[in-house]
């Protein structure tokens, strides 16, 4: 009985989240498509032929997985952080607080909303990439599981940001000053093997490198990092973030006085 009620509550939160980002699709789904198309045109079509091959593939083929994953990372993160902070700001989060919904269901509802938006944008960007590249997938299970886990991880990270945020600036600081640099330095546009040895070692501290490398393996069959290491680290980060978020929710951090 409780399980059924919790399932309905979860579906309700998820449905609310999907309705929210689809209502403003011009702000949520469309902009990443435009941005990524510009990347394809400028870096892939215009600059790419001058660069030549990267890790044994054309530059366009090389950057496609990274660009898809970058859009998934940004969208799953920003969806949850802005939606959860917005609910706190408008106090509509109280609708959930006063209802008999366990915190784990609240967390899963918001996070799955972020995952769905990330995947939706990822699919649309993938379709756009077909106009610029003959996309071939080396291993669908690897590409599929990496993209899903990455969306999950960054949705959880977005939720954490939303929990800590007390003003609108707090929601934009992390994406602007941490997430974007890490994504660009995570090997979207280059193989880390091109870097001097010191910077290769430093790059290994960037968690996004493992995701992009794993996802690129799913498409091209080549990777900078061992695939098992990528999976283990992504899963580990997911578990840590899930536990931290749940603990904070249980404590009512920034939610209850």
Partner 1 sequence: MTEALSISNLRKVYDNGHVALDGISLSVDQGDFFGLIGKNGAGKSTTIGIISSLINKTSGSVRIFDIDIDEDFDLAKSRIGIVPQEINFSIFETPMQIVTNQAGYHGIRRKPASQRAQHYLDMLGLSDKRDTPARKLSGGMKRRLMIARALVSEPGLLILDEPTAGVDIEIRRLMWEFLAEINEKGTTIILTTHYLEEAESLCRNIAILERGELMENTDTKSLLSQLRQDTYVLDLASPLTRLPEPLADSVDQTWKLRNTMTLEVMVSKTQGMNTAFELLSKNQIRVASMRNKTNRLEQLFMEITAESQSGDRGIP
Residue by residue, DSSP assigns 78-139 as: HHHHHHHHHHHHTTTHHHHHTTT--HHHHHHHHHHHHHHHHHHHHHHHHHHHTTTS----S-
Q: Which is nearer to partner 1, 93 or 234 (CB)?
A: 93
Q: Which is nearer to partner 1, 50 or 91 (CB)?
A: 91
CA distance 200 to 184: 14
CA distance 102 to 226: 38
Does 12 bind partner 1 (CB under 8 A)? Our answer is yes
Does 9 bind partner 1 (CB under 8 A)? Our answer is yes
Among 8, 47, 240, 243, binds partner 1 (CB under 8 A): 8
Among 35, 37, 58, 97, binds partner 1 (CB under 8 A): 97
Among 98, 131, 197, 228, binds partner 1 (CB under 8 A): 98
Count of residues that bind partner 1 according to CB under 8 A: 30
Shortest Å, Cβ 176 to partner 1: 25
Shortest Å, Cβ 92 to partner 1: 5
Handedness of CA 208, 131, 36, 161 (dihedral sign): negative
Q: Which of residues 13-72 bind partner 1 (CB under 8 A)?
A: 13, 15-16, 19-20, 23
Give the residues across from 58 on adjacent strands. Answer: 53
Does 73 bind partner 1 (CB under 8 A)? Our answer is no
Q: Which is nearer to partner 1, 50 or 256 (CB)?
A: 256
Does 247 bind partner 1 (CB under 8 A)? Our answer is no
Q: Give which of 160, 170, 145, 3 is closest to 77, Cα–Cα.
A: 160
Does 11 bind partner 1 (CB under 8 A)? Our answer is yes
28 neighbors 79 (Cβ within 8 angstroms): yes
In Å, how far are 76, 97, 111 from 106, measured between CA atoms?
16, 9, 9
Q: Which positions touch partner 1 (CB under 8 A)?
A: 4-6, 8-9, 11-13, 15-16, 19-20, 23, 86-87, 90-92, 94-102, 252, 256-257
């Amino acid at each position: 009985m409780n399980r059924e009620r919790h399932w309905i509550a979860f579906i309700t939160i998820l449905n609310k989240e999907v309705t929210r980002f689809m209502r403003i699709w011009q702000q949520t789904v469309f902009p990443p498509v435009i941005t990524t198309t510009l990347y394809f045109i400028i870096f892939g079509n215009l600059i790419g032929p001058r660069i030549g091959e990267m890790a044994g593939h054309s530059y366009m083929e090389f950057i496609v997985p990274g660009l898809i994953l970058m859009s998934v990372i940004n969208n799953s993160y920003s969806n949850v952080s802005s939606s959860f902070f917005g609910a706190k700001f408008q106090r509509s989060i109280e609708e959930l607080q006063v209802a008999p919904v366990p915190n784990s269901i609240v967390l899963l509802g918001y996070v799955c909303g972020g995952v769905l938006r990330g995947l939706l944008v990822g699919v649309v960007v993938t379709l756009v990439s077909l106009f610029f590249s003959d996309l071939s997938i080396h291993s669908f299970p690897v590409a599929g599981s990496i993209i899903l886990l990455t969306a999950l991880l960054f949705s959880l990270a977005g939720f954490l940001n939303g929990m800590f945020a007390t003003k609108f600036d707090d929601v934009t600081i992390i994406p602007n000053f941490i997430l974007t640099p890490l994504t660009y330095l995570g090997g979207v546009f280059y193989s880390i093997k091109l870097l001097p040895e010191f910077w290769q070692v430093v790059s290994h501290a960037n968690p996004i490198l493992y995701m992009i490398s794993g996802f690129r393996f799913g498409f091209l069959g080549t990777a900078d990092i061992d695939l098992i290491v990528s999976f283990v680290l992504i899963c580990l980060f997911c578990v840590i973030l899930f536990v931290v978020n749940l603990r904070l929710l249980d404590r009512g951090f920034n939610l209850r006085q």
